[in-house]
Amino acid sequence: MTTAAWTTDPEIERIARRRAAARLGWIVHATIFLLVNGFSLAIASYTGRHGIGFGALGWAFGLAMHGLGVYLYGGGLLDRMARAERARLLSQRDPW
């Protein structure tokens, strides 16, 4: 396969766009996390209240899981799961 054929392959384009969208989704998630929790921390330090960070811990865990899914396992996990599901459905298909 030549480089030109590889770069114009619609399947490659679809996969690249899906992965880029997943990474962008994580970046948006992380940005909102930082803004909301930074604002909450500023309010907490101004008012002298403590314990506001407990909600941030749960959210940080969710953000970490989102990051793992996108950057560590996201490369082929969805594709592998879709192939396995497709194979399972095809094997159960009634021939009539």
95 or 38, higher pLDDT: 38
Rounded Cα distance, 28 and 33, in Å? 8
6-8-12 Cα angle (round to 5): 65
Greatest Cα-to-Cα distance within the chain, rounded to the nearest angstrom: 71
Residue 66 neighbours by CB under 8 Å, 6+ apart: 25, 26, 29
In the predicted structure, residue 94 carries a pLDDT above the cut 80:
no
pLDDT at position 30 is 97
Count the helices and strands in the chain (H runs, E runs): 4, 0
Ordered by start, the domain boundaries in the chain are: 6-92
pLDDT at position 7 is 59
The 8-class DSSP code of residue 49 comes to -
pTM over 0.85: no
CB 52 within 8 A of CB 63: no
Note the pLDDT tens digit of each residue in 31-69. 999 999 999 888 888 888 877 778 889 999 999 999 998
CB 79 within 8 A of CB 35: no
